[in-house]
Chains A and B, each alone.
Chain A
């Protein structure tokens, strides 16, 4: 059975506290922290973007997979912050790991669901026997307009998965996708910051699609919520995944390991994929994991993974996600954050 043969994460070192963003805009920090269940978020350095983070996450995945990168026949990156409007991110990443030239490559975009899209297609190609190994990456250096609610959560990170059929760490038991045309969040061509429809992003968007995908995959698999040791939902803030989990009957313990947002922020395309890497870091053979992404526009991809006995040998083969999240952090102030994120208007010669 096809599944994940290698996984890796990358999170930039910089953090900014929600309280420091709120202070800049005269907002009430405790209400934002409580409302979003969010204390701080990751911030990329000026020399980091979706491509650089994808390379580092994939290098970590290769350390676990221990495969020859030349055997990777497809590489996909899902992101809403590809550095180029026209020129693929994937070619740079494929060059960096030496997966060129016998490789199919594409960049995906579907708001926060782009990462799980890339995983879905990579897995499907392996299942179909088209390629021996395929890579799916979710990565973002997401932006929120200054002072907008999104600015408190928009963060940066990447997660990479190598799909294959031999030495599988987590088998893909079943997949399911659920979507509709729901315009809850968007960014038009040439616009710098995304727009959103406020509270409309909740019930008809995130909750409707996440619940639809979860119920759909459980029915397709003939499984129930108690069959899972861990569940990972898309996590635009700390509150939504906990609430949708409760609505579906999951316990807080099932969500705990994969819920990174309170100290990471919303890494968009990398959000649920990064949650999955944190779960795989501590998973035990036989554990069943449910992962449900959500991307505005809107849709959810759902996966059921079954962990194999190969997992324990590779968990320490690369840096763990919790280590990246909890250690070696550097806190920056709002001015430094604004400079790093290109929010300060400069003269043309700069």
Chain B
């Protein structure tokens, strides 16, 4: 990912900042300029919950070159307690132990790096809550 693109998304990647429509209350993650529910352009910034549950997942066994040291690893859709669904890697788990509905928590992790000389990109991954 290009550095400016990554930099622009830091509030979402690091702090889970979302936009809540002040007109109808709908939450957008990532934020939008216009609410697709009520056409309002007025939003307040909120931080999404770090807790949620697994809606569905799949296991990546043949990984892209950047992720071979982590294979096999699950990627899933997680529904946060705010009702927002996000796509994220699920870390710190044995893929065979994962179950739909399992409670998870978002942790701050390295997502990728631009080779050994490039920047390290950070963000969130879901981790099962015991």
Contacts and interface: CB of A to CB of B under 8 A. Distances in A.
Query: Do these two chains interact?
Result: yes
Interface of A: 13, 45-49, 51-52, 55-56, 59, 83-84, 87, 92, 95-98, 327-328, 330, 339-340, 349-350
B108 A56 contact: yes
15 contacts: A45-B70, A45-B91, A46-B69, A47-B91, A49-B110, A52-B110, A52-B122, A59-B108, A87-B119, A95-B10, A96-B14, A98-B15, A327-B130, A328-B130, A339-B69
Q: For the complex, would chain B's binding face be called helix, strand, loop or mixed by DSSP majority?
A: mixed
Contacts, number: 53
Interface in B51-84: 65, 68-70
Given A47-B70, A95-B10, A96-B15, A56 B107 contact: yes
B122 A51 contact: yes
Nearest to B69: A46
Given A46-B69, A83-B120, A52 B109 contact: yes
B120 A45 contact: no
A55 B125 CA distance: 13
A47 B130 contact: no
B60 to A, nearest CB: 14
Contacts of A52: 107-110, 122
B111 interface: yes
A55 B108 contact: yes
B64 to A, nearest CB: 10
* Top 8 closest pairs, chain A to chain B, by CB: A55-B108, A47-B109, A96-B14, A47-B110, A46-B69, A52-B108, A328-B130, A13-B92
A98 B108 CA distance: 14
Interface in B94-126: 94, 107-111, 119-120, 122, 125
B80 to A, nearest CB: 16
Contacts of B107: 52, 56
A96 B91 contact: no
A84 B107 CA distance: 21
Contacts of B109: 45, 47-48, 52
Contact of A47 (B10, B65, B68, B111): B111
Nearest to A92: B122
